[in-house]
Structure 1
Amino acid sequence: MKKIIFLLFFGSTILLTAQELTFKKGVVTDSVIINDSIQESFALYLPKNFEISKNWPVIFLFDELGRGRQLVRFFQDAAEKEGYILAASNSIHDSLPISQNILISNRMFNKTFQLFSIHPKRIYTGGIANGGRLASIVPVFVPNIDGVVSFGGSLGNVEVLSTKNMFHYIGIVSKEDYNYPIMLADELVLNGLKFPNQLLLMNNGNKMQEQHQLQKAMQIFTLSSMAKGSIPLNETFLNQSYEANLAEIDSLIASKKLLEAEKLIQETQSVYRVHLKVDELKEKLKTLKKDKLFRTQRRNENNVFFKESLIKEDYAYYLEEDVLTYNFNNLGWWNFQMEDLKKYEKSQNVAERQMGKRLYGYVNALVDDTENMLKKEKVVDEDALLFVFMLKTITDPKGYDSYLEIISLSSKIEDYGTALFYMEELLKNGFTDKETLYNLEHTALLRITPEFNELVTKYLDDARYGIKEQ
């Protein structure tokens, strides 16, 4: 692979350029235009205490669908508290080649450097899920990136990592996220390559904890900059953040979340040992590992990981086989698998409950990837695609788009029985957008049938076409 080299410009025009444009502090700016000749833009956030004369850290954020504003808003509170500029491209898209997305990113970087005084040793990238994966690839191609924060996204490609271009990686993930085992494996790879890294754990769906971990990631970057001498050591900040981590560790131990406590002890040691003596942490870890409950929780998690890996292999194997052979008869097996996953929700074993949620996320991600692959083929295999959409109604019953796709594809081949069946299933699941139903592609003949209009009348009232009685 050829490495693309980009130049990041820092110069005396920063203050002048920044004075020509007006940005509100503490408010997300939706669209900062790159220049008049390029239709690219990015969302921007400046902390309330922003000063033009000061060098600032910046996190460039990535979303695979170019949702810059939403992404900046997600990181905004943590950036405000820790004093970071945020910038997120509105022009990145997963349909573009990686090389083009990197070029778009580089133009956003350079525009930001022209506008503001950015600290040359405090440039970071970040993102959520697939955006986090892209953020971890950017430092391979763009120099001077000091760190990456990835929220629920594994490394983009471990094969391109090089000790000649190292960066500080911080992953944030829930133990219910299907990426959790993958990110644990990534951690081992990074440790082997001597990349500085931390993996921060959180409860899935807990908004306060999500923001807490984002804030902690930014604190870690700041502490790392202090350790390198890039910024002066702030002993008050250092001691307060360390004490906060100790309190969090004690809270986890008190609530019997011993595996999470072990993880936080290890990560806290790796961050603070360059600044402070961490003998207290060593003693906590030693005591924890002697605890009988800790050993039981570790054994349960290891057993679950093994079981999970076998189930994931089955999902991947059978999905590939079913798509290749159009095996609609196997939809019953998939339905059984989804019912089986529901049993884990009631398990007394915490590790099993977490596994069930990870597997649910995994199978849906697997099906989505298969759909995307089929759609990218030069000649779209509509039979295979129809199978995938039917499978998605099983793995994600509230995903209305799958039902609509089935109705459209079935109507295209005049299989109105299938179209009507999935139409009723769609309506049973709470779909209410009558306008979308009546404008669905390939359904002109279906829409004038009595059966179609009976279903609309039954679930949505008021069919567009009357039902004539004989």
Structure 2
Amino acid sequence: MKKLLLVIIAFLTLGNLHAQEFRIIKGGVTDSLPIPGMSNKTYAFYAPTNYTTHRKWPVVFVFDPKGRGSTTANLFRKAAEEQQYLVASANIDLKAEPIDSIVKTATAMMNSIFSAFPIDPVQVYTAGMGEGAQVASALPLFYKQMAGVMAIGNSFVNREYVDKSNPYMFIAIAGDKDYMVYEMEEYLRFFDDLDFRTDVYYFDGKEDQWPETAVISNAMTGFTLEAIKKGNRVADKDFIQKLYQNEIGYTEQLVRTRNYYEAYEKLDRMEDKYEDFGFEDDIEDRMKELKKTNGYRSQRRDFRQAVTFEKEQQGYYEYTLRTDVMTANFQNIGWWAYQVDELEKLKKSSNEAKSNMAYRLHGYLDFLTKRKFDVIVNSDAPIDIKIFMSVLRTAINKDDPEAYLKIISLAGSDGDYETALLYLEDLLKTGYSNMEALYNIEGTLDLQFTREYNEIIKKYLGESKFYNDGKEPEEN
């Protein structure tokens, strides 16, 4: 369908703002729309092909950790077109902004949309992934009429400030390979205990990863159906039937790829989601057929065994880490490296439950040691414990430069040049190429002027600051 251009001139009433002109592509994503009052802050926007100012629209505000507004808006495009939503996706790098600035920008974006477009105030939703999910989860504190939150891979809940008198729907989405999957289920239990409407979706993915468009579309139906049940949207039978068939199509795809247990669990969740719409018998028949399928029982058994082992292993990792840090047990570094090697092998297993478990355990181990590393290196802990924690981090995550740089700094400050040079080379072997940073490592000023230091850098980067001509560096 040919895309139409719609020019909307909105007189915004936020602060001392002037009239703002928006050129919106109907049926496509318009990027880099300015957020009034926020210097250089923008968002991407999607409006369905049949967008008109003569009716009020549901809207979903989306937050990506890296501020990829246009890319993220396109993930919601299919759902927004089929289910009739406006989408505003922030171009805010959440990793580079303090939380107070992020919230201020997010609320300014929301207010500008409310002023510029005909928004249905009782159909306002937020969605986000990772840090973006934390922002999305926090916004009901500021917009009391929030109808729903879609949190992918993370969330934020301040139990003291959740307004029980203004319940909203909470949809959790987690990757099968994401160690945060159990944390997301804890959030679900929290909202269930408050009698908030909840739903959960899983996809084939890891932490810091958006699900595919089909998963997002299926999840969005949760918001849509809940709005219909509350009378905030028209109960069009043909429309509801289409939503149902789309979601059933996803389960059939799982069956075709022999993911029988995952398909069964999906249908089990759909049974509650589509209650009162007349699909109960069809869902139950499909579930009965799946239980008869060769492979269903073995997949269920594999999944349960993997989860049991995983939770036991998490507890063992936590205990061993505490013990090793207390004693700076360098002799056990090899054991930790072995654990990572075994998890890497298990990731390649043909047993999907075990493979997904390995990804989650490695992610959890990475998270656990990174959290401990951040606490210890910024504390008054003895240098041997700081070095141990840094060395352990390089065993768990071989490509993270932070721990290597810390070891070089600590060893250089302590006069242990041999260790500093060893980890300098290990760092460069990972592909690290920030030469300027290598000559600004705290505690290594004398080391930086040595021939050995510069020759290692030149070996991997092709040049160094000193000794490039074979001569001694001149003293100032």
1:249 positional shift: 1.7
Answer yes or no: is the 8 Å Cα contact 2:75–2:213 preserved in 1: yes
Deviation at 1:268, TM superposition (A): 2.3
Cα gap change, 1:93 to 1:401, in 2 (>3 Å) = closer
Look up the match of 1:24: 23
Show the counterpart of 1:212: 214
Q: Which residue of 1 aligns with 2:230?
A: 228
Whole-angstrom CA distance in 2 between matches of 1:456 and 1:97: 38
Q: CA deviation at 1:133?
A: 3.5
Matched residue, 2:139:
138
> Are the equivalent residues in 1 in contact too, given 2:129–2:210 (CA < 8 A)?
no
TM-score, normalised relative to structure 1: 0.83
Q: 1:71 to 1:156 in 2, by over 3 A?
A: farther
Give the structure 1 partner of residue 269 of structure 2.
Answer: 267
Whole-angstrom distance in 2 between the partners of 1:205 and 1:248: 20
CA contact (8 A) 2:152 2:210 kept: no
Q: How does 1:211-360 map to 2 (within 5 A)?
A: 211-291=213-293, 293-360=295-362
Identify which range, 169-178 or 208-217, moves more after superposition: 208-217
Q: Which residue of 1 aligns with 2:430?
A: 429
2:117 corresponds to 1:116? yes
Distance in structure 2 (CA, Å) of the matches to 1:102 and 1:190: 23
Alignment check: 8 A CA contact 1:265 1:285 kept: yes
Contact kept? 1:42, 1:91, Cα under 8 Å: no
Q: For 2:12, what is the secondary structure of its paired residue?
A: helix
SS at match of 1:165: coil
**Kindly tell me: are residues 385 and 264 of structure 1, through their superposed partners in 2, closer, same or farther at Cα, counting changes over 3 Å?**
same
Q: Specify the alignment match of 1:45 in structure 2.
A: 45
The answer for unaligned runs of 5 or more in structure 1 is: 1-13
| SS of corresponding position for 1:231 | coil
Report if aligned partners of 1:58, 1:87 keep a CA contact under 8 Å in 2: no
Note the C-alpha offset of 1:306. Answer: 1.4
Indicate how the Cα distance of structure 1 residues 140 and 209 shifts in structure 2: closer, same or farther if over 3 A, else same.
closer
Partners of 2:72 and 2:89 within 8 A in 1: no
How many aligned residue pairs are there?
A: 449
Give yes or no for contact 1:93–1:101 (8 Å, CA) kept in 2: no
Query: Is residue 24–residue 46 contact of structure 1 (8 Å, CA) maintained in 2?
Result: no
Do the aligned residues in 1 keep the contact of 2:60 with 2:88 (CA within 8 Å)?
yes
Q: Secondary structure at the match of 1:402?
A: helix
What amino acid maps onto 1:338 in structure 2? Answer: V
What is the CA–CA distance in structure 2 between the aligned matches of 1:433 and 1:367, rounded to whole Å? Answer: 24
Tell me the alpha carbon deviations over residues 335-379 of structure 1, each in whole angstroms, 9 at most, x when there is no partner: 1211221231243432111110100111111222223444666x6
Aligned residues of 1:178 and 1:362 also touching (Cα < 8 A): yes
Aligned to 2:414: 413
Contiguous gaps of at least 5 residues in structure 2: 1-8
Give the secondary-structure state (helix, strand or coil) at the position aligned to 2:233.
coil
Aligned to 1:388: 389
Q: Secondary structure at the match of 1:173?
A: strand
| Shift, 1:128, TM fit | 0.8
> In structure 2, do the counterparts of structure 1 residues 325 and 84 end up closer, same or farther at CA, with 3 Å as the change threshold?
farther
Report the CA distance between 1:205 and its aligned residue: 6.6
Q: Which amino acid aligns with 1:264?
A: K
Residues 297-344 of structure 1 show CA distances to partners (whole Å, capped at 9, x for unaligned) of 222211211111111112222333333443333322211211221231
Q: What SS does the corresponding residue of 2:122 show, helix, strand or coil? A: strand
SS in structure 1 of the partner of residue 127 of structure 2:
strand
Residue in 2 that maps onto 1:59: 60
Q: Alpha-carbon deviation of 1:437?
A: 2.2
Cα 1:375–1:450 shift into 2, 3 Å: closer
8 A Cα contact 1:41 1:91, kept in partner: no
Q: Indicate the larger mover: 384-393 or 165-174.
A: 384-393
CA distance in 2, matches of 1:209, 1:163: 30
Note if contact 1:150-1:171 (Cα within 8 Å) is conserved in structure 2: yes
Note the C-alpha offset of 1:123: 0.9
Change (3 A) 1:165 1:181: same
1:207-241 superposed Cα distances (whole Å, 9 cap, x missing partner): 99522212222233223222222122344432222
Is the alpha carbon distance of 1:432 and 1:174 closer, same or farther for their aligned partners in structure 2, counting shifts above 3 Å? same
Distance 1:185 1:287, change over 3 A: farther
Amino acid at match of 2:408: I
Q: Name the CA distance, whole Å, in 2 between partners of 1:154 and 1:208.
A: 14
The range that moved more, 441-450 or 43-52, is 43-52
1:155–1:183 contact (8 Å) kept in structure 2: no
> Deviations for 1:262-282, whole angstroms, at most 9, x for unmatched residues?
122123223322333331111
CA contact (8 A) 1:392 1:402 kept: yes
The CA deviation string for residues 184-217 of structure 1, in whole angstroms up to 9 with x for no partner, is 3444444444322221121127999522212222
In structure 1, what is the Cα distance between the partners aligned to 2:382 and 2:165? 44
Greater mean alpha carbon deviation, residues 222-231 or residues 76-85 = 76-85
Farther off after superposition, 102-111 or 78-87 = 102-111
Q: Secondary structure at the match of 1:145?
A: coil
**d(CA) in 2 for partners of 1:157, 1:292:** 45
SS of 1:121 mapped into structure 2:
strand
Shift of 1:164: 2.9
- Looking at structure 2, the residues matched to 155 and 270 of structure 1 have their Cα atoms a distance apart, in angstroms, of 25
Instruction: Work out the CA distance in 2 between the residues paired with 1:94 and 1:371.
Output: 21
**Aligned equivalents of 1:333, 1:119: Cα separation in 2:** 57
Secondary structure of 1:316's partner?
Answer: helix
Q: Using the alignment, how far apart are the partners of 2:317 and 2:163 within structure 1?
A: 33
Over the matched positions of the two proteins, sequence identity in percent amounts to: 28
Structure 2 counterpart of 1:16, one-letter code: F
Residues 72 and 86 in structure 1, CA contact (< 8 A), matched pair in contact too? no
Contact in 1 for aligned 2:48/2:86 (Cα 8 Å): no
